[in-house]
Amino acid sequence: MITKPKGTYDIYGEDAKYYNYINSVFATVANYYNYNFIRTPIFEDSTLFHRSVGESSDIVSKETYDFKDRGDRDLTLRPEGTAGVVRAYIENKMYGEANQPIKLYYSGPMYRYERPQAGRYRELTQFGVEVLGSDSPIMDAEVISLAYRTLEEMGIDNITVKINSLGDNESRENYREALIKHLEPYIGELCPDCQKRFKNNPLRILDCKVDKDHVALKTVPNMLDYLNEDSKKRFDKVLEYLRYLDIDYEVDASIVRGLDYYNHTVFELVADLEALGSASTVAGGGRYNALVEELGGPATACVGWASGVDRLMIILKELNKDKEIQDNVDVYVMAVSEEERITAVKLIQDLRWSEIKCELDSLDRSLKGQFKQADRLKARLLVILNDEDLQKGLITVKDNVTKEETKVDESEILDYIVSNI
């Protein structure tokens, strides 16, 4: 038997309902905020991710799926969504459009070769937003607000925004020097990854899960103390807008995010939920003002975030133990004889075209078996066809909650059902 690759899973049944629900809520909220959908290729030129995400990041150094195609081209399955959106922005010259900034949202599979665990897979689904062409602190607050609202709409209300600022290039370099000076005496005691990061990107050490309790990380200088005046004013303005939006936040100088392209605002939305264990971050992102230019486009200020659908599915299942996502049918049409089936087929087509979710038997079940199937589908109304009634131009409708039955004229059946759903 052929089985699925390690770190992947099939989405069907109850999982499919949660999956579609999450994407539907996200798309609805993104539309409220006037964001437009974008789809980018699942694989891109390897240079895109190796340049944009950064060679020192774990994603590129350990996790990308790189391969050569039959034309000997170096390609990579996308490990995250931002780089592809930026490439599309540049290639399609969106920076020249009259309507600025460009506000986009996406959803789709990403690929990372990492150790599978609860909510983390090698094929994962992410959704996220990107704003390209605005350096306003208002946009930092807006994208955080969009993420916060999306989670609230899903019924996840114990969310805290953890936020930090990496500052501009000058601020970041000042902090980098202070961090190297602080870590140097301890570097031999830290994990191999941190020793490698010390040479390439010491800020990434702050994100280490292995050494998070080591004294070296517990006593690092506070990044916010190294912000220059402009960076500090900018960060204060972002926090001010969040307060106006009534969004709970916590300034956390340890937030650096795992990708190399961030500057200024970085943030994570954290859920206090037992279902996630220690993996409590459900969305994260920040500002990346240099990435478009680095990839060959004009200087463009950008900000965005992403969230993992897989992890949100775990949360929603935990929150909905006694309250499943709505999955019932509105109407179940019951028929046994051939004449009844012909009427059923025509009626169910009219119902579906009237946007009513309905079903009928296709397995030649007995009437008793169809009643059981209707209960399994949690049908609201039962349409019970029988030849004797049909000869009189009547159809029986049963309310599956009150158990009341009504004889309805066949010519009025559609209007009756529509008005009683």
pLDDT tens for each residue of 246-280: 999 999 988 876 666 788 999 999 987 765 555 48
What pairs with residue 267 in β-bridges?
163, 285
Sheet holding 65-68, edge to edge: 43-45, 74-77, 65-68
> Exposure string (b/e) for 274-309, b if CB count within 10 Å is 16 or more?
ebbeebbbbbbbbbbbbbbeebebeebbbbbbbbbb
| Alpha-carbon gap, residue 66 to 412, rounded angstroms | 62
Q: How far apart are the first and last CA of the chain?
A: 45
CA pair distance 133, 409, nearest whole angstrom: 61
- Please say whether the beta carbons of 313 and 306 come within 8 A: no
Return the pLDDT at 193: 77
Average pLDDT over the chain reads 89
Q: What is the pLDDT of residue 322?
A: 55
Q: In this predicted structure, what is the pLDDT of residue 404?
A: 94
| pLDDT computed for residue 124 by the predictor | 92
Give the separation between CA 284 and CA 270, rounded to whole angstroms. Answer: 9
pLDDT at 210: 80
Cβ neighbours around 210 below 10 Å, total: 12
Residue with tokens 């790189």: 66
Token pair in block for residue 382 = 């039962």
Q: How does pLDDT run along the chain (421 residues), one tens digit per residue?
A: 999 989 888 999 989 999 999 999 999 999 999 999 999 999 999 999 887 665 555 555 568 899 999 999 999 999 999 999 999 999 999 999 999 999 999 999 999 987 777 667 899 999 999 999 999 999 999 999 999 999 999 988 888 999 999 999 899 888 888 888 888 887 887 788 787 777 777 877 777 778 777 887 788 888 899 999 999 999 999 999 999 999 999 999 888 766 667 889 999 999 877 655 554 889 999 999 999 999 999 999 999 999 999 889 988 888 875 555 777 899 999 999 999 999 999 999 999 999 999 999 999 999 999 999 999 999 999 999 999 999 999 999 999 999 999 999 999 999 999 999 8
Domains of the chain with CATH codes:
13-168+228-319 (3.30.930.10), 331-420 (3.40.50.800)
